[in-house]
Each structure stands twice: as structure tokens, then as C-alpha cells.
Amino acid sequence: MIQKTLMLFAAVSVAILPVAAQSAWEMDSAHSAAHFQVKHMMITNVRGEFGNMSGKVMFDGKDYSTVKAEAVIQVASINTRVPKRDEHLRSSDFFDAANHPTITFKSKRVQNIKGNKFQLVGDLTMRGVTKELVLDVEATPIVKGMNKELRIGALATTKLNRQDFGVKYNRVLEAGGLAVGNEVQVELDLAFIQPQTSAGK
């Protein structure tokens, strides 16, 4: 009976080790942003960013397969350097910030790990529509910050079709074609901090 109890305890201990080994990394919002690029009038690209982001990552610091991530983008923080255009993008023609103030991402799994590069698969929700999205991620080494906190960065890129998320506004040009492209290129510059309490000082 004692032997069986010890075996059961050992099995449970092994099962919880991967979870216990993971640590919470909080997004450093001051050094993170979501950039995007979309074709305009079929001749040039409009670039912009969402400056207000928050999120967290669970990661054991070594094995990228342990990564679990969540992020929230505030739609109202959109900035394309043209106030009138930004106001239009916040309207119901595009992101409908009044009814859908956030864009969210929640990861589901990690795949294709090659060194410090991997793909993070998760659900992106925008304008109330949720679709699976694959992020190509390149992580930086872990470094120690000025206050002994641990830091890590990542560059994540992807492409999406805005029509898939109900962002359908457009105008047909006289010469044919559309004023706003459907394909959107996304680039996320991300920084995360593991506080001293989590890092174990």
C-alpha cells in the first residue's frame, strides 16, 4: 500500500512539473506596439500602429513549446499619422471601436520550432469575429534589466485578410481595383518582463 502511494505521488509530481516550471512574463507596454501595413490606391502602402497593448506570456525560459500567450490591443490607440483617417478607421466602416473596443489574441499551441524561431497558433478576435491565426515569432535571448528583472523580446509577423473579420469598407477606383487592399501585413514588436518575485531574485 505504501509503495503504491509513493508511486502515485511520484506520478503526480512529474505531471505538474512542466506547469510549475513556467513563469509569468508581463508585457512591457511602453516598449511594445502592433504595426500594420495595407495597400492604398494600388500604388502605395499605408502604415500605422496600435500603441496601447497589454498581455502576458507563460514561458519556462528555455523550451519554446511551453509558450502560452494572451494579448489585448485597444482599437482607439490606432495611429496612422493622419487624425482624420484615424477617426474613420475607428468608425463602423472599419474597426467599429465604439462596439468592439479591443482586438484580442489567445494562443493555442506552438509549432515548427527552429532555434529561437517558432510559430504561435491562436485565435484572433476582431469586430466580434474569431479566426485562427499563425504568428511567425523570433525571440531574443533573456537579459537582465536595470533593476535585476529578467527581460525578453520577440518579433512576431503575420498576414491576414481584413474581410475575414468583417472589415469590408472599400471604394472601387475609376481605373478598376480597390482603394484599400484586403491583405494586411502585421508586425508585432514585443517586450516582456519577469518581475523579481517571479524570477526568484
Strand partners, 24: 58
Whether residue 13 is contained in a domain is answered as no
Whether residue 114 is contained in a domain is answered as yes
CA distance 57 to 22: 10
Whether residue 41 is contained in a domain is answered as yes
Q: Which percentage of the chain shows pLDDT scores above 90?
A: 63
- Identify the residue with better confidence: 196 or 27: 27
Whether residue 2 is contained in a domain is answered as no
Q: Which range of residues forms the domain containing residue 41?
A: 22-199
Whether residue 1 is contained in a domain is answered as no
- Number of compact structural domains in the chain: 1
Whether residue 133 is contained in a domain is answered as yes
Whether residue 9 is contained in a domain is answered as no
C-alpha cell belonging to residue 112? 515548427
Whether residue 3 is contained in a domain is answered as no
Domain of 123, CATH number, reads 2.40.128.110
> Using one digit for the tens of pLDDT, what is the confidence trace for 134-192?
999 999 999 998 888 899 999 999 999 988 998 776 654 444 444 567 889 999 999 99
Q: Backbone phi, then psi, for 158, in 5-degree steps?
A: -165, 170
